[in-house]
Amino acid sequence: MPDANDAFVKFSDIQKTYDGETLVVKDLNLEIARGEFLTMLGPSGSGKTTTLMMLAGFEVATQGCILLEGRSIDHMPPHKRDIGMVFQNYALFPHMTVEENLAFPLKVRKLGRAESEARIKRALDMVRLGAHGKRRPGQLSGGQQQRVALARALVFDPKLVLMDEPLGALDKQLREQMQLEIKHIHEDLGVTLVYVTHDQSEALTMSDRIAVFNDGAIQQIAAPAELYERPRNAFVAQFIGENNRLHGKIVAMDGATCKVEVLGVGDVQALAVNVEAVGRPTELSLRPERVKLNPTPGSLPNVFTARVAEVVYLGDHVRARVSVCGHDGFVIKLPNSEGVVQLEPGTPITIGWKTEDCLALDAT
């Protein structure tokens, strides 16, 4: 977390309700550092977009305070917050040219003509649209329109840029290309950027930190690698990346590790991340790529026999669904680094995994 004295944006005890009964944002405390790329990630209805809209000034918090550079912005109108905004639907003026769209926020701020022209040129060059200034949005592709929207959000050098599902309308290849472009622009400018998405791969690709929302609250906030490797609870483990889940009961605890009895599987050695006590239920989380095929005898603490149910060839890896002691949906991913992995449906195999790769989390 950023130091409290250095927080660029600070949400303090924020709550939001629309009907006076149901809280869509619950007791939110969040600090964002200057120059940080923070992504708010979560399913629909989790509170992430409402949080962004309160920061933008389009929604008002029911309780709590939002600070920008140490100053309350709770009663400040959106146009005075010095915040750039990029929406999924671009929100461009269709009757204006690209240059006129970019000029609009500069006119509102009463910048002179020469400075406005210089800023517009710089912003268009930044998004590689320098030759498209005289065109109207309807003459551009979806990806080009999104670049114009990004340039317009940056042209007046805002303190903060907010993006609400900005790439949701683009196809997969263009979306992945734009993810990297936005990341590189952020790195070049050093602007503070808050990004909302429900796409976990997008969040992992772009962010300095990710705040995972569910049911109006942040479940975990961390750097992408930490979030994926060490989820704090079962919801985060399931929402970030693919995940094998095994339900069981804790039968022994030994410092940072525990032994879990899984019905139909037997005892599993796991890392005790978010557990209560011996005798209590838990959910084990295991990433498919951490499962080893036919491990050397004695090399792993968790080894089980399985039967291949389905094999999907995906080029750089093979994805296999296997049956393990009655669990038919168990998935393993095998890298295709040394040629095609030979697995056939119906084939018996042995699988195993390390204790530290199997996380014991709260029961769901």
Task: Read off the CATH number of the domain in which 270 is found.
Answer: 2.40.50.140
Residue 1 lies in a domain: no
Structure-block tokens of residue 18: 């629309």
- The domain containing residue 303 runs over which residues? 244-361
8 A C-beta contact, residue 203 and residue 41 = yes
pLDDT band for position 327 (cuts 50, 70, 90): confident
The share of the chain scoring above pLDDT 70, in percent, equals 98
Decide if pLDDT at 252 tops 60.
yes
Residue 80 lies in a domain: yes
Q: What is the pLDDT of residues 125-141, one digit of tens each?
A: 999 899 999 999 999 98
- Mark whether 124 and 263 lie in a shared domain: no
8 A C-beta contact, residue 106 and residue 116 = yes
Domain end residue (candidates: 174, 204, 234): 234
Domain end residue (candidates: 234, 258, 291): 234
Q: What are phi and psi of 103, to 5 degrees?
A: -75, -25
Q: How far apart are CA 195 and CA 175, in angstroms?
A: 14
Q: How far apart are CA 338 and CA 74, in angstroms?
A: 58
The answer to whether the pTM exceeds 0.75 is yes
What is the model's pLDDT at position 341? 67
Mean of the per-residue pLDDT values for the chain? 92
Which residues face 150 on adjacent strands? none
Q: What is the pLDDT of residues 253-277, one digit of tens each?
A: 999 999 999 987 889 999 999 998 9
What is the model's pLDDT at position 36? 97
Domain end residue (candidates: 234, 262, 293): 234
What is the model's pLDDT at position 343? 86
Q: What is the pLDDT of residues 141-159, one digit of tens each?
A: 888 998 899 999 999 999 8
What is the model's pLDDT at position 220? 97
What is the model's pLDDT at position 264? 77
Structural domains in the chain (count): 2
Q: What is the pLDDT of residues 277-307, one digit of tens each?
A: 999 999 999 999 999 998 998 899 999 999 9
Beta carbons within 10 angstroms of residue 340's beta carbon: 9
- 3-class SS letters over 240-256: CCCCEEEEEEEEEEECC
Angle, in degrees to the nearest 10, between helices 98-108 and 113-126: 130
- Mark whether 52 and 177 lie in a shared domain: yes
- What 3-state class would DSSP assign to 6? coil
- Mark whether 152 and 300 lie in a shared domain: no
8 A C-beta contact, residue 87 and residue 166 = yes
Span 77-93, average pLDDT: 88
Task: Read off the CATH number of the domain in which 64 is found.
Answer: 3.40.50.300
What is the model's pLDDT at position 4? 45
Structure-block tokens of residue 201: 């791969």
What is the model's pLDDT at position 339? 65
Q: How far apart are CA 133 and CA 148, in angstroms?
A: 9
